[in-house]
Amino acid sequence: MARILVPETIAEEGLNLLRSGGHDVDVQTDLDDAGLRNAIVGADALIIRSATTVTEELLDAADQLIVVGRAGIGLDNVDVGAATKRGVMVVNAPQSNIISTAEQTMTLILAQARNTAAADASIRAGRWERSKWTGTELHGKTLGIVGLGRVGALVAQRAAAFGMKLIGYDPYVSPERARQLSVESVSLDELAARADVVTVHVVKTPDTVGLIGDDFLSKAKEGVRIINVARGGVVDEAALVRGLESGKVGGAGLDVFDNEPLVDSPLANFDNVVLTPHLGASTHEAQLKAGVTIAEQVALALAGDFVPFAVNVDAAEVAETVRPYLPLAEQLGATLGSLLDEVPTTIEISFEGEIGGYDNGLATLSALKGFMSVLIDEPVSYVNVKSLLAENHAAVETVSSPTSHDYVNRLALSAGGRRVAATLMGLRNEPRLVEIDGHDLDLPPSNHMIIVRNDDRPGMIGIVGTVLGDAGINVDDMDVGRSSEGGSAVMVIATAQEVGPDIVAQLRSTDGIASVDRIGLS
């Protein structure tokens, strides 16, 4: 059972999902910064929305944090770099509010084009000014979409239904994909020159801050209308005000702002500007989806399973064929690490057989996670394992082959002159250790094993068994593997409890035994 700290209001359906999984859901929605730092001590997970800022200082206060879940898309309130450095997974719910955000975009486009907010305020003030609030049709106008991701694509679909001409700029989307969306792919400068309405749907990064600013507006059509339901700061608000004052900008609809809440902004002085308080995801449906999705992601992270929406884990979605090999890869990595005294300069991971034809990014991370966990004292996770390898000057080489000579699939790891291999067998996918240092084997891997390299002569099994029996060590399983070169054998024995160093020393001093390795995994 994990303790999950929730300092903001999250859909109860999501929280109940976590409770039903046996977790302690600690909801504290009235915390200040100091209170949050105190509350996060002992928490395994933190679930937030947009009001909580996850800083490096907060992460320093967290003594056992595994995952931070953001119930929504944006992560500008989470220091992802600091979390990654500490091995804390960061997950979000990228598809939870895309429909709501796209609909809010269309709402602002329509409201701005028809002066809805200003006309409403006028009539509430007792005035009837039909001629003053004459608007413009969307039909036949050109909509410039900056960012053709999930939300941008949905906006394109909805705007097309209004008869708008669609052009788009997104350096990460191919022209062919844009054509599938009925969008003409253009440069940012051409979009500025042609668009009657510009809507932005990009994440906030150093490259996108101020993207719609003085330079963009200088190239834009006279009377261009600007819509932002993405992130505050992508539209330069000072430049937008200058454009509105000069008439270059014919209107704007903004749902997000550089500083929120918006207070005393000159944007509020323009009748042709519609302002809403960050309502893009504020629908019942979006909040429900965000709460349930983030609960599912956090539960997966706490279970050590693959997390599809982890933003700081460098791995593609795992194929169903590969998924059963993830725990095997981690255990095999830990087994190999137990055979070494220090982090080696190179680790080789080989995927043979059917699994060799898939993306094995996550299986690689699983193996490395198990490997490094037994070799260094720091906490190791999917998130920080690559940076820890880099700090220890260790390189990783992966080899994939669609064929395996003896098994349908085989996973092998080599490092520091040692080699281990394993597979899954039968309909139940039972794990089997099939090779150690060139010796063929067949036994289930275990957390407690000894690996005895001995002369290949009669009586050796009895000698080792007697030593273990005299020490009260119960043998769960064992197998003997011979080298193809002959002369030596390897005896791998799985035990019910860890074999102590004194027993290992006794075995090492026994005639005919060349070496003894002990594996004791938690």
- Residue by residue, DSSP assigns 389-408 as HHHTT-EEEEEEES--SSSS
Same domain, 54 and 73: yes
Residues 36, 124, single domain; the answer is no
Average pLDDT over residues 487-507: 90
Q: Is residue 27 within 8 Å of 14, Cβ to Cβ?
A: no
Is residue 188 domain-shared with residue 260, that is, in the same domain? yes
Average pLDDT over the chain, rounded to whole? Answer: 93
Q: Which of 12, 56, 260, 285 is labelled catalytic?
A: 260
Q: Answer yes or no: do 126 and 267 share one domain.
A: yes
Q: CA 218 to CA 406: how far, in whole Å? A: 67
139 is catalytic: no
Helices (H), 162-303: 175-180, 188-194, 214-218, 237-246, 284-302
SS3 content of the chain, % helix, strand, coil (to 5): 35, 25, 40
Residue 309 lies in a domain: no
Residue 111 lies in a domain: no
* 261: preceding bond cis by omega (within 30 degrees): yes
Please indicate, yes or no, whether residues 413 and 458 belong to a single structural domain of this protein. Answer: no
Residue 12 a catalytic site member: no
Point out the catalytic residue in the list 231, 432, 439, 518.
231
In a domain, 280, yes or no: no
Q: Which pLDDT value is given to residue 456?
A: 84
33, 7 contact by CB (below 8 A): no
Residue 493's CATH number: 3.30.70.260
Q: Indicate the pLDDT class of residue 522, thresholds 50, 70 and 90.
A: confident
What are the pLDDT digits (tens) for 24-45?
999 999 999 999 999 999 999 9
In a domain, 108, yes or no: no
Contact 381, 65 (CB under 8 A): no
Q: Regarding predicted confidence, which is higher, 164 or 441?
A: 164
Q: 425 and 447 share a domain?
A: no
* pLDDT confidence bin for 427, thresholds 50/70/90: confident
Q: What pLDDT, on a 0 to 100 scale, did the predictor assign at position 402?
A: 87
CA distance 190 to 216: 10
Residue from 284, 290, 292, 293 nearest 13 by CA: 292
- The answer to the question of residue 358 being in a domain is yes
- Among residues 382, 415, 435, which one ends one of the domains? 435
CB 489 within 8 A of CB 480: yes
Residue 276 maps to a domain: no
Residues 431 and 441 in one domain: no
User: Is the sign of the CA dihedral 70, 323, 44, 384 positive or negative?
Assistant: negative
3-class secondary structure, 109: helix
222: containing domain: 116-271
pLDDT digits (tens, 9 = 90+) for 443-481: 999 999 999 998 888 899 999 999 999 999 999 999 997
Which of 435, 455, 483 is the endpoint of a domain?
435
Q: Which of 49, 70, 278, 410 is catalytic?
A: 278
Residue 445 corresponds to which tokens in the numbers above? 């891997």
CA 449 to chain centroid: 34
Q: Are residues 125 and 241 in the same domain?
A: yes
Determine the pLDDT at residue 392.
Answer: 94
Residue range 228-279, pLDDT digits in tens:
999 999 999 999 999 999 999 999 999 999 999 999 999 999 999 999 999 9
**Is 60 among the domain residues?**
yes
Same domain? For 427 and 461 the reply is no
Do 229 and 290 belong to one domain? no
Q: Which residues pair with 215 in a beta bridge?
A: none
Q: What is the total count of domains within the chain?
A: 4
Residues 6 or more apart in contact with residue 417 via CB below 8 angstroms: none
pLDDT reading at 486 higher than 70: no
Residue 414 and residue 295 share a domain: no
| pTM score, whole prediction | 0.71
CB crowding 98-130: b at 16 or more within 10 Å, else e = bbbbbbbbbbbbebbbbbbbbbeebeeeeeeee
For residues 405 and 369, the model is more confident at 369
Task: List, for residues 274-319, the tens digit of each pLDDT value.
Answer: 999 999 999 999 999 999 999 999 999 998 777 889 998 876 667 8
The percent of residues above 70 in pLDDT, for the chain, comes to 98
- For residue 81, the surrounding DSSP H or E stretch is helix 80-85
What strands, in cross-sheet order, belong to the sheet with 3-6?
A: 24-27, 3-6, 45-48, 67-70, 89-92
**Which residue has 């139940």 as its token pair?**
428
- Catalytic residue list contains 231: yes
The H or E element that residue 189 is part of is helix 188-194
pLDDT at 97: 92
- Kindly state whether residue 12 falls inside one of the protein's structural domains: yes
Distance CA 492, CA 442 (A): 10
**Rounded to an integer, what distance in angstroms lies between the CA atom of residue 128 and that of residue 121?**
10
Report the pLDDT value the prediction gives residue 73, as an integer from 0 to 100: 85
334 & 427 share domain: yes
Residue 433 and residue 420 in contact, taking contact as beta carbons nearer than 8 Å:
yes
pLDDT of residue 484: 59
Measured at the alpha carbon of residue 151, what is the angle toward residues 156 and 291, in degrees to the nearest 5?
A: 150
